[in-house]
Structure formats: C-alpha cells, structure tokens
Structure 1
Amino acid sequence: MFPVENKTIALNPTVEDGYEVGDEATDFSLKNIDGKMVSLADFSAAKGFIVVFTCNHCPFSKAYEDRIVALDAKYSSKGYPVIAINPNDPAAYEEDSFENMKKRAAEKGFTYPYLLDEKGIGQQYGAARTPHVFVLKKEGGKNIVKYIGAIDDSAQDPAGVSKKYVESAVDNLLQDKPVVTKTTKAIGCSIRWRSDS
C-alpha cells in the first residue's frame, strides 16, 4: 500500500469549478524542463492532448511514470501527445522543485513536455490529485474536454490493470466514436497549490 499523507490539505475552492466534459479548455503557456515556454498551440499537427497533472514526490505519480511514458509512445505519433504539468508548490515539497523536475525527467526518460505550473492552470482545470488526466480533442479550433480522471483502474499494480480509461478514451476519439467512460475518480496525492497562484 502507498503511504497516506497525514496532513489534511484544503483544496482551493476554484478546484470544484474546474472543467467538465464538453467544456473548452483554454490554452496556457508554461515553462518546460528545457527552459522553453510550451503552449498547446505549439502542437499544430495534434488532434488532441493527454494532459496529465503529476509531480515528483507523490508515490502514485511515481507508480504511473512508466505508464505515462507508454501513453506518449503509443499516442503521440497518432496525434495525441502527453503534456505533463506539475501543479505542486515546491515550497511544500522540495522534491517538486524545477531542478528536481529536470533530474526526474532525465532519470526516467520522459519523452514529453514536463511543465511547471506557476499560473494556477491546475486549479483552472479542476485537477485535485496527482496524477489527474484531462483528454482534450481539437474541434473547430478549440480544445474540448472529452475525458477526466484516472489513467486506469490499478494505481498500485500495473499488472492488475483491467480498465485502461485513457487508452479507451483516445482510441474512441481516434475512431470518431464517443468516449464511453467520460469520467472516473482520480486516485493520488492531494495537490498543494502555490499561495501566489
């Protein structure tokens, strides 16, 4: 079992006002681990995005790292790249600092952008835990939310996965079919928001 945080963390009220399936997700510009700013608009050839709010310190996020890399390997070439965003306040978790993000990405061989959220994008989306996934599809020049929730149904054991929620959602979208499971509960660590975001 993963250790449970012994702190109760008050989620910012705006989290409850985050996106729902069918909403338009506005673009953002956040700093990547290479120091460059990244926006969704940079991916002109993309059909959509797998936006994952994740971090370094959370054991759930760590358990999913290889699966997130696998998602990008499977879907980036098909038009659905992974965009990872760390929404945690590094003052609360030193492990989530920008320097440590760069180290973690190098150690794990991240193939996708790993962005530092200094602008409260996680709150805007309504992310509550790490990892928390939002699958977006480009429609008429807009990024429309098609799925919100967990990556799959087995946070602790990759071998125990029976339902791959994100894969199913993206597979449906690639076939121009409706997403069957539109929302699931994200399982992970509570996000510690920046006081200035």
Structure 2
Amino acid sequence: MAVHTPICDFGWPAPDFALPGVDGKTWRLADVRGARGTLIVFICNHCPYVKAVVDRLVRDAHALTEIGIGVAAICSNDPVQYPDDSFENMKRFAVEHGFQFPYLHDETQAVAHAYDAVCTPDFFGFDGNLGLQYRGRLDSSGRQPAAPDARRELFEAMQAVAAGGSGPTDQTPSMGCSIKWKAV
C-alpha cells in the first residue's frame, strides 16, 4: 500500500545517528554532512518505488555532492519479514546501482523512528545548519519510468538549499511503500 510523507517542517533539526554502512564503516551524521546541506534518504532494496527511481537518485546524489551537499541512504526495513532488505542484499544493491554515497543499515529502526520516516523512498533535505528544508519527492514519476522532461524536484530543491539555505515552500510529498516495521 502506498503512503505519502508529511509536509516539510521547516527548520526541524536532523537527528544524529551512528549506523554501519555496506562499506564496513560506521557512519555518523557528522560524517555525511555537507558544507552546504545534507540529504538523508530512507530506501530499501525491494520497493517498486525505490527500484523505479534508484538510477535517478544515484545521478542526482552525485550531482549534489559536487555542489557541497552530503548524501546518505538508510535502510530500516525488517529483514526478517523482508529478506531482500538484508544487510548482505543491501551490499549487492549498492554495487549493482553504483552508489557513491554511504548506504546504512538501521537494524534497530531507531533512526527511522527519530526521523519519523514513513515510506521508501523518504527524502530529508537539510541546510548547512542541519535544519530541514525539503521533504518532497524525487520527481513526478512515482513508480513509473520518468518522462524525458520530468522536473528534477529533489535536485532543484537541494540546489536552492545549497545556494541560499532555503528549500521551496511548495513541495509535493514523496510516495512509496511503508517502512516495514518489526513486530512488537
């Protein structure tokens, strides 16, 4: 079932984290923070919405790092219920799609809860002071192939954050599969 993210709570502070990456390192928010902003993306390996946008996400993440935006992706799904989202499969997924940013495993789901992440993909774009400026979508494609002229909404928003510290006031929520929470 598709869910939508809430609207952007401008200025909301980015919660810190320390999570293992598929590269064998432990990453903190300070390690991925960019001089002009930071993008934290909640994704997973099996979601059709993520699969539909992953190559454009990789393209835009690379372009954003070139303008001083730090990028990290986090998988918080329960790998017991969804084995495709296991840490080993995260490693394969990152290699297969050429991730040039940390892909982190939130095994306890504490970071997803701290960010109030609701779906995959869920985008959190922060300014240079780690205040939230964007909680929208990558583009209008959803889980369909993007039209050749699809506006790069996430990229444009983070480009504005890098240039002036503020995200757009008009943002369209991201849509995707719900985070797969562990049974309590």
- Same fold by TM-score greater than 0.5: yes
Instruction: Tell me the TM-score normalized by structure 1.
Output: 0.82
Counterpart in the other structure of 2:102: 113
Tell me, yes or no, if the aligned pair for 2:37 and 2:161 is still in contact at 8 Å. Answer: no
Q: Aligned in 2, Cα 1:45/1:166: closer, same or farther, shift over 3 Å? A: closer
Report the 3-state secondary structure (helix = DSSP H, G, I; strand = E; otherwise coil) of the residue aligned with 2:125.
strand
Match of 2:127 among 121, 137, 150: 137
RMSD value over aligned CA atoms? 2.4
Provide the C-alpha distance between the structure 2 equivalents of 1:79 and 1:106, rounded to a whole number of angstroms.
Answer: 23
> Rg bigger for which structure?
1
- Bigger shift: 171-180 or 48-57? 171-180
1:172 is the counterpart of 2:164: no
1:193 is the counterpart of 2:181: yes
- CA offsets 1:108-129 (integer angstroms, 9 cap, x no match): 1111100001242112111111
User: Which of the pair has the greater relative contact order for Cα pairs under 8 Å at 6+ separation?
Assistant: 2
- Which amino acid in 1 is paired with 2:77? N
Counterpart in the other structure of 1:153: 140
Unaligned runs of 5+ in 1: 10-14
- Bigger shift: 58-67 or 115-124? 115-124
- Which amino acid in 2 is paired with 1:174? A
- Which amino acid in 1 is paired with 2:124? F
- Which amino acid in 2 is paired with 1:77? E
- For residue 43 of structure 1, report the CA deviation from its aligned partner: 4.0
Tell me, yes or no, if the aligned pair for 1:118 and 1:194 is still in contact at 8 Å. Answer: no
Tell me, yes or no, if the aligned pair for 2:64 and 2:159 is still in contact at 8 Å. Answer: no
- Bigger shift: 159-168 or 187-196? 159-168
- Which amino acid in 1 is paired with 2:135? I
Counterpart in the other structure of 2:10: 21
Report the 3-state secondary structure (helix = DSSP H, G, I; strand = E; otherwise coil) of the residue aligned with 2:123.
strand
Unaligned runs of 5+ in 2: none
Counterpart in the other structure of 1:80: 69
Percent of aligned positions with the same letter in both sequences? 38
1:126 is the counterpart of 2:116: yes
